[in-house]
């Protein structure tokens, strides 16, 4: 399947016409629960695409810490100048735009900026058809399970245990905590405390956020595996696919990665090299819905489980279209609705351990 044939049976939505302009707005979002001493807010770039039909598409780009200014500059100049006057069709535009921008980098700022346009065009298609984007793609379910996640490396042990207790009380069947960046003995105590809090029947994943060397990862996973881990996330630098493959051959715990891979090509390499057991694409970092659908289709063909990374307001809608149902990640108090930055009700209702579609037209993500 060609990368841009995903969803081709839908056909171009008639009546949108050409893109007449692209507008952006920066939105700084204070976090209810800071993600670290230096991560007190997230940064969004709202992207509005005007079409000849009068339909306006609403999209966004996102970065939790740095790079928002660069992303917005690429949208306002390079992307704006390339797409104005072209057909408002996300699938037709993605490949030529990526080739046009490739000199500035194949991923990172490039794909994060492209995501803002891609989401806006999918949203416009949904609005023109008066249907949710998930229905345009091909929804397979109306709800998905949610797993409890925390950016909690900076939490004290007591704070961490309190969070784990909230997850247990909510009834999550899977939770995830941070490790790394401290002596292994401390990580061991923290993982043991969370396991004791959630009990033996809840699945527990750990996320090292690229902080270990190969030798450190092998030792740490060996020691922490006694707490019955369902996966270890990003144990090594994300670019080190060969290192992940070597580590995977040496440990008995599944390896998850992908939040910092930016192109379908890199996901394909990760699969072919045997670098991971679980893939975790972030729909913004890979460049939007168009490449995300390619990545998940290829993962499904290869028998690879996909767990979408962050952004439950968006990831939940995409998870409803995936062949294999897997839980979406809900970092405590970090959804757009919980952060209070939406002008309209969120596209999903997250109630405890379940995210259910509200059947909003388009993507249903409109910022205040």
Question: Residues with catalytic annotation?
Answer: 178, 309
Cβ(221)–Cβ(253) below 8 Å: yes
- In 3D space, the residue among 21, 16, 13 whose CA is nearest the CA of residue 48 turns out to be 21
Cβ(123)–Cβ(136) below 8 Å: no
Tokens of 113: 């900026």
SS (H, E, C) the chain: CCCCCCCHHHCCCCCCCEEEEEEEEEEEEECCCCCECCECEEEEEEEEEEECCCCEEEEEEEECCCCHHHHHHHHHHHHHHHHCCCECCHHHHHHHHHHHHHHHCCCCHHHHHHHHHHHHHHHHHHHHHCCEHHHHHCCCCCEEEEEEECCCCCCCHHHHHHHHHHHHHHCCCEEEEECCCCCHHHHHHHHHHHHHHHCCCCEEEEECCCCCCHHHHHHHHHHHHHHCEEEEECCCCCCCHHHHHHHHHHCCCCEEECCCCCCHHHHHHHHHHCCCCEECCCCCCCCCHHHHHHHHHHHHHCCCCECCCCCHHHHHHHHCCCCCCCCEEEECCCCHHHHCCECCCCCEEEECCEEEECCCCECCCCEC
Cβ(71)–Cβ(45) below 8 Å: yes
How many other C-beta atoms are found inside a 10 Å radius of the C-beta of residue 249?
9
Measured CA to CA, the distance from residue 181 to residue 220 in angstroms comes to 12
């Amino acid at each position: 399947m060609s990368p841009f044939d995903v969803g081709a049976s839908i056909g171009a939505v008639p009546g949108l016409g050409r893109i007449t302009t692209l507008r952006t707005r920066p939105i700084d979002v204070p976090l209810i629960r800071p993600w670290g001493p230096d991560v007190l807010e997230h940064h969004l770039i709202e992207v509005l695409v005007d079409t000849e039909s009068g339909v306006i598409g609403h999209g966004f780009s996102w970065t939790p810490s740095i790079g928002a200014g660069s992303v917005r500059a690429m949208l306002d100049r390079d992307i704006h100048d390339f797409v104005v006057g072209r057909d408002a069709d996300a699938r037709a535009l993605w490949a030529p735009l990526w080739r046009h921008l490739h000199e500035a980098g194949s991923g990172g700022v490039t794909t994060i900026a492209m995501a803002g346009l891609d989401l806006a065009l999918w949203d416009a298609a949904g609005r023109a058809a008066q249907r949710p984007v998930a229905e345009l793609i091909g929804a397979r379910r109306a709800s998905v399970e949610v797993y409890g996640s925390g950016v909690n490396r900076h939490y004290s042990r007591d704070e961490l245990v309190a969070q784990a207790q909230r997850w247990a009380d909510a009834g999550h069947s899977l939770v995830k905590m941070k490790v790394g960046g401290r002596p292994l003995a401390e990580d061991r105590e923290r993982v043991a405390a969370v396991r004791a809090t959630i009990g033996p029947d809840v699945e527990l994943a750990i996320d090292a956020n690229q902080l270990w060397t190969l030798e450190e990862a092998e030792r740490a996973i060996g020691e922490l595996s006694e707490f019955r881990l369902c996966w270890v996330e990003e144990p090594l630098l994300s670019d080190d696919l060969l290192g992940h493959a070597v580590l995977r051959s040496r440990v008995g715990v599944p390896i998850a990665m992908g939040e910092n891979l930016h192109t379908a090509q890199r996901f394909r390499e990760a699969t072919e090299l045997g670098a991971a057991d679980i893939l975790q694409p972030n729909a913004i970092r890979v460049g939007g819905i168009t490449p995300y659908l390619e990545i998940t289709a290829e993962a499904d063909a290869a028998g690879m489980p996909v767990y979408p990374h962050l952004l439950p307001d968006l990831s939940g809608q995409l998870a409803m279209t995936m062949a294999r149902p897997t839980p979406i990640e809900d970092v405590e108090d970090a959804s757009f609705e919980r952060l209070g930055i939406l002008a309209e009700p969120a596209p999903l209702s997250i109630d405890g351990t379940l995210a259910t579609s509200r059947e909003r037209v388009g993507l249903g993500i409109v910022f205040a």
